């Protein structure tokens, strides 16, 4: 007899609940009322759903371990997100195990595969771009999963973050209103950081809609040292015609770029504008405040952790939570 192709997703859709709730109901763990469990089991039987024994063996069994995957520890952004998450989890009695991928999808997949053998209570991934097997394995295992720092309408389970393309667009529109027409961008090489790519798309769109007389020039810097990468990006851009405003991947790169502008005898903002991203603590002590966007990093960690704790206990939450950024008009761009 051919095995039924009905999976946990179909049962969840028929029962109008999440896949995590179906998993918990079938496994008989806490977090699902008896009435709802009976209804889910009835629907599963009607659909001829046969639980995958391998996935079930990997599922949560009163574990208090939360796995957290970050791209790198060498970025203040992820340190602040992590601080918000860990404090919330520890307060709820959960421990965390953390690994870094160095922006490698293959490393992330290998980590998820290892983590599943530990039967975690939940998993946190950075961003929304993963190898196909990652989402498939987590869904099949019925593991509550949070994607942090980015958003999508179709997350693995839930996501909390910012809209990076919209953030880039907001910064770009602000620069357009200030009269900038010859933009440039210094950041990660295209394709290495999808979130950076999304912000660049937003910046491009803003200038395409304005009276921009030059296409945006891009200096992709592979260096890991952010300050040096920002300075090297300016050096590269100035080998050709000078842009009138430069957007940087983050505030660290922007600071390095500012130092390079000084070496080249360029005044900020009279000769060239500088725009950062994230509003890191660094920007509060600079003699010239950077124009940047403040991202809600710690809040993102707290909200994401709270939503994930709700999912662990079988409580439905918003699948997609988009937090706002705040534009900070500094003194590295022209006055309005």
| pLDDT tens digits, one per residue of 164-202 | 999 999 999 999 999 999 999 999 888 888 999 999 999
* 3 state SS of 147: strand
The mean predicted confidence, pLDDT, of the chain is 90
The C-alpha angle with vertex 106 and arms to 59 and 151, in degrees rounded to 5, equals 70
Q: Which two tokens stand for residue 256?
A: 């390095």
Q: CATH: 2.40.50.140, 3.40.50.2300, 3.40.50.1970, 3.90.1150.10. Which one for 61-162+297-323?
A: 3.40.50.2300
pLDDT at position 2: 40
30-60-17-137 Cα dihedral, nearest 10 degrees: -170
Alpha helix positions (H), 127-188: 132-141, 164-177
Per-residue pLDDT, 60: 41
Residue corresponding to tokens 């992709």? 220
Q: Residue 52: what pLDDT?
A: 58
CB 245 within 8 A of CB 273: yes
Domain ranges in the chain with CATH number 1.10.260.40: 8-51
> Angle 255-251-170 (CA atoms, 0-180°, nearest 5)?
125
Look at residue 28 in the predicted model and tell me its pLDDT: 63
User: What is the reported pLDDT for 80?
Assistant: 95
Whether residue 55 has pLDDT greater than 50 = no
Any idea what the Cα angle at residue 116 is, between residues 7 and 86, rounded to 5°?
115
The larger pLDDT score, comparing residue 231 to residue 35, is at 231
Contact predicate 112/100, CB 8 Å: no
In this prediction the pTM is 0.80
Cα separation values, 280 from 7, 86, 165, 294, Å: 45, 20, 20, 8
CATH 3.40.50.2300 in the chain, residues?
61-162+297-323, 164-295
Q: Find all residues with CB under 8 Å of 248, minimum gap 6, and list them.
A: 185, 186, 187, 230, 233, 254, 257, 274, 275, 276, 277
Please state which CATH number belongs to domain 164-295. Answer: 3.40.50.2300
> β-strand 183-187 against 95-100: which pairing, if any?
unpaired
Return d(Cα 161, Cα 165) in angstroms, integer: 12
Averaged over 26-44, what is the pLDDT?
A: 78
Contacts of residue 299, Cβ cutoff 8 Å, sequence gap at least 6: 84, 323
8-51 adopts what CATH topology?
A: 434 Repressor (Amino-terminal Domain) (1.10.260)
């Amino acid at each position: 007899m051919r095995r039924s192709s009905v999976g946990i997703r179909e049962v969840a859709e028929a029962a109008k609940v999440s896949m995590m709730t179906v998993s918990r109901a079938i496994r008989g763990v806490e977090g699902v009322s008896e009435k709802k469990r009976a209804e889910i089991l009835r629907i599963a039987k009607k659909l001829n759903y046969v639980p995958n024994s391998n996935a079930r063996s990997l599922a949560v069994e009163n574990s208090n371990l939360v796995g957290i995957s970050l791209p790198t520890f060498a970025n203040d952004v992820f340190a602040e997100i992590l601080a918000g998450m860990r404090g919330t989890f520890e307060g709820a009695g959960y421990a965390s195990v953390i690994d870094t991928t160095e922006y490698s999808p293959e490393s992330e997949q290998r980590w998820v595969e290892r983590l599943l053998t530990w039967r975690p209570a939940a998993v946190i991934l950075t961003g929304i771009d993963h190898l196909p097997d990652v989402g498939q394995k987590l869904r099949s295992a019925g593991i509550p999963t949070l994607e942090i720092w980015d958003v999508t309408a179709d997350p693995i389970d839930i996501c909390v973050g910012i809209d990076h393309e919209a953030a880039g667009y907001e910064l770009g529109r602000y620069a357009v209103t200030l009269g900038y027409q010859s933009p440039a961008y210094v950041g990660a090489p295209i394709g290495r950081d999808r979130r950076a790519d999304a912000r660049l798309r937003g910046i491009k769109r803003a200038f395409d809609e304005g009276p921009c007389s030059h296409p945006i020039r891009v200096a992709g810097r592979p260096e890991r040292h952010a300050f040096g990468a920002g300075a090297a990006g300016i050096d590269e851009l100035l080998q050709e015609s000078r842009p009138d405003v430069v957007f940087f991947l983050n505030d660290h790169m922007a600071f390095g770029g500012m130092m390079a502008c000084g070496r080249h005898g360029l005044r900020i903002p009279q000769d060239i504008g500088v725009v950062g991203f994230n509003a890191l603590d660094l920007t509060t002590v600079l003699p010239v405040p950077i124009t940047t966007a403040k991202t809600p990093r710690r809040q993102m960690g707290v909200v994401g952790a709270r939503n994930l704790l709700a999912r662990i206990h079988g409580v439905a939450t918003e699948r997609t939570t988009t937090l706002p950024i705040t534009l900070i008009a500094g003194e590295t761009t022209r006055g309005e």
